[in-house]
Structure 1
Amino acid sequence: MRIDPPGPPLRALPGLLRKLAVDRLGMMKDAAGLGDAVRVSMGPKKLYIFNRPDYAKHVLADNSDNYHKGIGLVQSRRVLGDGLLTSDGETWREQRQVVQPAFKPGRINQQASAVAEEAAKLVALLRGYEGGGPVDVLQEITGLTLGVLGRTLLESDLTAHESLAHSFEEVQDQAMLEMVSQGMVPSWLPLPPQARFRRARRELYRVADLLVADRRAAMAGGEPGDDALSRIISAADRRHGGPEQARKRLREELVTLLLAGHETTASTLGWTLHLLERHPEVRARVREEARAALGDGVPGLGDLHRLTYTTMVVQEAMRLFPPVWILPRVAQRGDVVGGYTVAAKSDVLICPYIMHRHPGLWDAPERFDPERFGPRQVADRPRYAYIPFGAGPRFCVGSNLGMMEAVFVTALVTRDLDLRTVAGHRAVAEPMLSLRMRGGLPMTVHAVS
């Protein structure tokens, strides 16, 4: 029998919708408390929240063609346009096909030395703060991830473009404003957030144009260009349409790659280092493993297989704080998910942040415990219980590079430095396009005893 999912009591609905604006994680927790399938009515609109692995599998994989990108990502189209994060259908398939070769394991494995070099640079930079005042470790990590992105996927130096990280923050702030207001705040209003967004968008497009021009010059000089940027440019040149349309698509696809290529890994590393500082016994095991596997050197590709516990630590950090904290979709046609009816054109949410804390799937789900990712434990869990990189056809194309980067950086930083959170600082998860850390991560740097 097909039935509608249960909804909140009428008296609870205003509070639930208010949390959509001020406490999105709290709203998702409240909804999960009502069951694994919940329907929230917002006037004529319906929002479905599904919180079981088999439900997630249906939406994200089995019937993925019926579910296009949804709230949050739709609002990001003002700057990302039809980039890989926001596009659907044939446009998305074409874009994925263009960039996929740049992410093949063989090519990513060849980038291991570049990732390790950038990780060593981060350690050297942080060491300069040793014994001194606090440093925003998250800000320095963001610089690292942009450096890795530039070297591995764009064949470009992004260190000269310090405005990128701040510009992306402004873009995400605007996307969330439009999501919670359901687009009811006109974009032409001269409000401060709107003005900041327009400045940020101009800056991102300026950087994108510079990167494209530089890469075109290199390609004209005979470089083979197997990187993602070269592939995007070549594909744009093959498309029909005028130069303005080509320029627009190039901007959208490159800005999307810049955002997705650094933001999620920076978020993962920030939360990982924060959790290690809070759990010294886990940090000690990571340090011991890094010393045994790497000695005094930097990691190479083969060392990934020796940094098994460090990998488990990163995986557990992504369980508690998945960088892609929510997977919003819009049902194109009516559907049935786990026996529950889903109305056409309604919003559907799969929330890894909540599912990764499901008490029916995880023992003591709020506890930080890397042992959850031992081989036996992984084999005993449903496949879709853990989806930090999404799932189905839209599974994150950069997952292998992101994991390599996170493991290498975690191992080197933990082996060589002792990072301590500034007294009184409280790490707060801020659910934007990724699950970033509000206010950064101020820490002091000390020598390893």
Structure 2
Amino acid sequence: MTGRQHRARAAHPAPPGPPRRATLRLLKQLFTDRLALMGDNAEVYGDVVRIAIGPKAMYLVNHPDLAKHVLADNAANYHKGIGLQEARRALGDGLLTSDGETWREQRRTIQPVFQPKRIARQAAVVAAEVDALIKRLGAHDGPVEILHEMTGLTLGVLGKTLLDAELGGYETLGHSFEAVQDQAMFEAVTLSAVPQWVPLKKQLEFRTARDDLRRIADELVEQRLANPVENGEDVLSRLIASGSGQGASRERMRDELITLLLAGHETTASTLGWAFHLIDEHPDVGERLHAEAVEVLGDRLPEHEDLRRLTYTAAVVEEVMRLYPPVWLLPRVAQADDEIGGYHVPAGSDVVVVPYTLHRHPGFWTDPERFDPGRFDPANPAGRPPRYAYIPFGAGPRFCIGNSLGVMEAVFVLAMAARDLVLRKVPGKVVDPEAMLSLRVRGGLPMTVHRRERVRRAEAA
């Protein structure tokens, strides 16, 4: 340790945290309940917590000002961390996992695809995809696996809006991405102690999934190379225009596509799953959604301009993402020593900002466990918490590039579903969160679908 490091530690002590004797309990939570691991320790030890598990120490950051420091003010000192490092085996150096100049170049290449005017022009495509989903759901007789349906929708939207391609034929995509998440989290919680060649079921499934994702990405690139779009604005066209399509450039395109396919569908699908669960738990919310959809849309498809009028629907989406942020963990690795909240954080440390706990911080949210879309009522902006108390899309330079498309998609789905349908969970279904790379419903979400007019008639009879 250098003299400078000694002085830093003397001036800024290590953060509080659970004692070494708690290691077994922490390990159990790390494997079985990562949300409790974060939430319990933040509640006991405060807004900066040092959690030591074996040879690793993780620094939990749970205050808006401190989140801003890590994600924005001193972002250059923090590279991608635990979980995302392990996901690199499947995602390569895509936008989600890369750092430094590689990341900046990738961002410059893809950013124009997400310009607000271009996303606004995609509203009709999104509405048509949602309309097809609502009709498909309404025709069901019996339980529907709603997360499967949302995954199919979000992949379809992603393909048409961002890739100018049909993804309907790639039915294995959702399963392959689940296997990637499972393996990445397994490696993270085991500190990569299990060799990758060990033929565990999870690791075998990961290899199959990785090969499947690479095959799909390569097929999409080959299709576009064979049928180029003149002055194409989609991601495939921009990636091809930015490189030769050969060698390292071809590998880069594959990495970007796999990353985009995962990030572009998983977060919105997870948000919609949690939304349908919470609406089922709060029928009054469903009734208000229905009333707004009827008033704003009537019997037509939504348009981009309707986003400004579907204010309650947008508030529901925001409150869903507060309670169940699809990206529940923002992991970083400190490149140099730092001071966070008066505490010393040494270089090489895993630093995690946890939107899940930040969004439930009692210092910034009244009755934080309660589902209340009124928190995001645009007529009451003074009731909103500080900017960095709510970060469902991250913050700073790595703010989610696709946030506007995801929000539009979620608002359209909830408005059209509430107008025409009532979704109810299958009796006995226990809904618990599963904290992987995204925050998803454990074990899926089977629901029964009812045409709203039939429900009305049954209630009136």
TM-score normalised according to structure 2 size: 0.94
Q: State the Cα deviation string for residues 120-143 of structure 1 (Å, max 9, x = none).
A: 0110110111xx210101111110
Matched, 1:102 2:113: yes
Q: Which amino acid counterpart does residue 84 of structure 1 have in structure 2?
A: L
Q: State the Cα deviation string for residues 64-106 of structure 1 (Å, max 9, x = none).
A: 0000000000000100011000000000000001000000001
User: What is the aligned length?
Assistant: 441
Question: 1:234: which partner in 2?
Answer: 241
Check conservation: 2:26, 2:53, Cα contact below 8 A: no
Question: 1:247: which partner in 2?
Answer: 250
Matched, 1:429 2:436: no
Q: Which amino acid counterpart does residue 249 of structure 2 have in structure 1?
A: A
1:336 aligned to 330, 333, 339, which one?
339
Question: 1:275: which partner in 2?
Answer: 278
Matched, 1:382 2:386: yes
2:324 aligned to 316, 321, 325, which one?
321
Q: State the Cα deviation string for residues 257-304 of structure 1 (Å, max 9, x = none).
A: 000000000001111111111101111001000000000011001111
Matched, 1:216 2:225: yes
Q: Which amino acid counterpart does residue 10 of structure 1 have in structure 2?
A: R
Matched, 1:189 2:207: no
Secondary structure of 1:329 counterpart: strand
How many angstroms does 1:380 deviate by?
Answer: 4.4
Tell me how large the CA RMSD over aligned residues is: 1.2
Check conservation: 1:16, 1:30, Cα contact below 8 A: no
2:418 aligned to 395, 410, 414, which one?
414
1:369 aligned to 372, 388, 393, which one?
372
Check conservation: 1:372, 1:378, Cα contact below 8 A: no
State the distance in 2 between where 1:204 and 1:13 align: 37
The worse-fitting range, judged by mean Cα deviation, of 316-325 and 188-197 is: 188-197
State the distance in 1 between where 2:343 and 2:293 align: 48
Secondary structure of 2:85 counterpart: coil
2:216 aligned to 202, 207, 210, which one?
207
Secondary structure of 1:419 counterpart: strand
The worse-fitting range, judged by mean Cα deviation, of 18-27 and 117-126 is: 18-27
The worse-fitting range, judged by mean Cα deviation, of 302-311 and 244-253 is: 244-253
1:167 aligned to 163, 176, 180, which one?
176
1:155 aligned to 121, 143, 164, which one?
164
Question: 1:403: which partner in 2?
Answer: 407
Check conservation: 1:277, 1:421, Cα contact below 8 A: yes
Question: 2:3: which partner in 1?
Answer: none
Q: Which amino acid counterpart does residue 384 of structure 1 have in structure 2?
A: Y
1:24 aligned to 30, 34, 44, which one?
34
Alpha-carbon distance change, 24 to 234 in structure 1, aligned in 2, over 3 angstroms: same
Check conservation: 2:20, 2:52, Cα contact below 8 A: no
1:297 aligned to 280, 296, 300, which one?
300
2:315 aligned to 298, 312, 318, which one?
312
Q: Which amino acid counterpart does residue 262 of structure 1 have in structure 2?
A: H
How many angstroms does 1:10 deviate by?
Answer: 2.9
Q: Which amino acid counterpart does residue 205 of structure 1 have in structure 2?
A: R
Check conservation: 2:334, 2:347, Cα contact below 8 A: yes
Q: Which amino acid counterpart does residue 431 of structure 1 have in structure 2?
A: A
The worse-fitting range, judged by mean Cα deviation, of 191-200 and 317-326 is: 191-200
Q: State the Cα deviation string for residues 342-386 of structure 1 (Å, max 9, x = none).
A: 110000010000111111111111100000012334664211000
Secondary structure of 2:259 counterpart: helix
Question: 1:122: which partner in 2?
Answer: 133
Secondary structure of 1:95 counterpart: helix
Q: State the Cα deviation string for residues 224-246 of structure 1 (Å, max 9, x = none).
A: 211112112222328xxxx3322
1:145 aligned to 154, 167, 189, which one?
154
Check conservation: 2:375, 2:384, Cα contact below 8 A: no
Q: Which amino acid counterpart does residue 430 of structure 1 have in structure 2?
A: E
How many angstroms does 1:16 deviate by?
Answer: 1.4
How many angstroms does 1:305 deviate by?
Answer: 0.7
State the distance in 2 between where 1:231 and 1:430 align: 35
How many angstroms does 1:339 deviate by?
Answer: 1.3
Percent sequence identity over aligned pairs: 59
State the distance in 1 between where 2:239 and 2:432 align: 36
Check conservation: 1:304, 1:404, Cα contact below 8 A: yes
State the distance in 2 between where 1:151 and 1:118 align: 9
Q: Which amino acid counterpart does residue 254 of structure 1 have in structure 2?
A: L
The worse-fitting range, judged by mean Cα deviation, of 42-51 and 69-78 is: 42-51
Question: 1:6: which partner in 2?
Answer: 16
How many angstroms does 1:338 deviate by?
Answer: 1.8
How many angstroms does 1:440 deviate by?
Answer: 1.2
5+ unaligned residues in a row in structure 1: which ranges? none
Check conservation: 1:47, 1:348, Cα contact below 8 A: yes
How many angstroms does 1:428 deviate by?
Answer: 1.2
Alpha-carbon distance change, 46 to 170 in structure 1, aligned in 2, over 3 angstroms: same
Check conservation: 2:364, 2:389, Cα contact below 8 A: yes
State the distance in 1 between where 2:66 and 2:265 align: 29
Check conservation: 2:143, 2:446, Cα contact below 8 A: yes
Q: State the Cα deviation string for residues 401-441 of structure 1 (Å, max 9, x = none).
A: 00000000010011100111100001111111111111111
TM-score normalised according to structure 1 size: 0.96
State the distance in 2 between where 1:396 and 1:270 align: 20
Q: Which amino acid counterpart does residue 227 of structure 2 have in structure 1?
A: A
